[in-house]
Amino acid sequence: MTVRLRKTPAPDWPRLNYPGLAQAADVYMAESQRSLALLTPHDLAQVVTRVRRQKLPDWREPRLGSLGSFFQNPVVLNSFAATLKARWPDLPVYPQGANNAPMGEAKLSAAWIIEQAGWRGFSHNNAGIYARHALVLVNLGGATGADLWGLAQRIQADVFARYGVRLVPEPLIINN
Position 137 pLDDT exceeds 70 = yes
The count of other CB atoms within 10 Å of the CB of residue 5 is 4
Q: Where are the alpha helices (DSSP H) in 58-144?
A: 78-87, 110-116
Position 108 pLDDT exceeds 60 = yes
What is the value of pTM for the model shown? 0.71
pLDDT of the residue at 59: 64
Position 122 pLDDT exceeds 80 = yes
Position 38 pLDDT exceeds 60 = yes
Confidence label for 57 from pLDDT (cuts 50, 70 and 90): low
